[in-house]
Structure 1
Amino acid sequence: MAGMFIGEHTFKVDGKGRVSIPADFRRELEEGDPLSGETGRPRMVIVYGHDAQKQLIVHTYDGYKALAADIAALPRGSEKRKIMQRMILNRARPTEVDADGRLVLPQPLRDKIGLDGTAYFAGMGETFEIWKPETFEVEDAKITDGWLAEQGDDFDPLSLLDELGA
């Protein structure tokens, strides 16, 4: 099933910004690009977003096209559409997996998230995120030490799905 990026991975980033993409993520990227069978180099789109965004969000090619269609379906001139266009369409960079199964992250994207020697890949279902590992730890701790701690020791994260039916 395309779009099932799960798990966490950490890889070295070389001086040219090349970083290996986890093998299971590469398979999902291949499934999410109809041309990857011909080219062997699946395309993807990296959303770097607003200035306060601390991670890069990577979409499969087809997933990003579907997202762009959802944005285009919003009423023309609406505030929501303008915001989505600026944050998701304007602040994005299409790219592809190189012949060695790596992603080349341009210097401006590395600078935006402070990425230097190591990249942390976080599977998020339909997308995956690329973080500076230390930044991810800080952001993750905010959730764990804040809201999650308030839920108590017997908290079951699956209970959040109950809210869908409420």
Structure 2
Amino acid sequence: MSQAKSGRPASVFAFEKRGWSGPLDTAVFQGNWLNAVDAKGRMSIPAPFRDVVQQRAGDRRVVLMPHRGDWDCLEGQTTTHVSRINEAANERFAPDDVSVEEDMARLRAFSLSVQVQYEETGRIVLPEDLREFAEIEGEVLLVGLGAHFQIWNPDLFLEQTGDERLKKFIRRKLEKARAK
């Protein structure tokens, strides 16, 4: 097993740097929204999330990727955050170390990600392969997680997340939206 500069074994995404300061910490993705998705994959990023992207990165681009763990959802991050993930990987792994583990970490972080730019109204197009991965059709649940956000098929969110109180809240929100 390859060793990181610290001497500890490296693991996929263990290189994500913690304790960043500055603009990255001042604006956080928070809240949850249900939004429609049309047959072409068009959907809107909520205005509060767009504000966070603007404050953190100064542009209208987000990086979307499959969840880095076991959930069948997408993660959305700013380009600035993704750049910092790369910088943290550069710091964690020795520059002359050729490592399968590092390659796996970088493959997971970068090869499945796609950068999209949203319109002034917040509309983006979710790439078809990401929609298929997350089983997204018709509607999405966007949830803020501080440094990033997730995009879910709402039914998969209810199946895969374990917090009963949170699921109760989202279930009620879905029932109201679907009753309209």
Distance 1:8 1:49, change over 3 A: closer
Cα-to-partner distance string for 1:116-141 (whole Å, 9 max, x where unaligned): 0001101010000001000011112x
Partner of 1:114: 135
Partner of 2:62: 44
CA contact (8 A) 2:76 2:150 kept: yes
Cα-to-partner distance string for 1:91-150 (whole Å, 9 max, x where unaligned): 11011112331121011111111100001101010000001000011112x3449xxxxx
Give, in angstroms, the shift of residue 15 of structure 1: 1.5
SS at match of 2:120: coil
Q: Structure 1: which 5+ runs fail to align?
A: 37-41, 146-166
SS at match of 1:129: strand
Q: Structure 2: which 5+ runs fail to align?
A: 1-22, 166-180
Q: How does 1:67-78 map to 2 (within 5 A)?
A: 67-73=85-91, 74-75=93-94, 76-78=97-99
SS at match of 2:109: helix
CA RMSD of aligned residues (A): 2.1
User: AA paired with 2:124?
Assistant: L
In 1, Cα distance between equivalents of 2:64 and 2:42? 14
Partner of 2:9: none
Query: What percentage of residue pairs aligned between the two structures are identical?
Result: 24
User: AA paired with 1:4?
Assistant: V
SS at match of 1:138: helix
Give, in angstroms, the shift of residue 63 of structure 1: 0.9
* 2:29 is the alignment partner of 1:8: no
**Count of residue pairs the alignment pairs up:** 138
Distance 1:143 1:77, change over 3 A: farther
In the superposition, the TM-score normalised over structure 1's length comes to 0.75
Pick one of 129, 136, 140 that aligns with 2:157: 136
In 2, Cα distance between equivalents of 1:132 and 1:49? 13
Give, in angstroms, the shift of residue 86 of structure 1: 1.2
In 1, Cα distance between equivalents of 2:120 and 2:38? 16
In 2, Cα distance between equivalents of 1:50 and 1:44? 16
User: AA paired with 1:70?
Assistant: A
In the superposition, the TM-score normalised over structure 2's length comes to 0.69
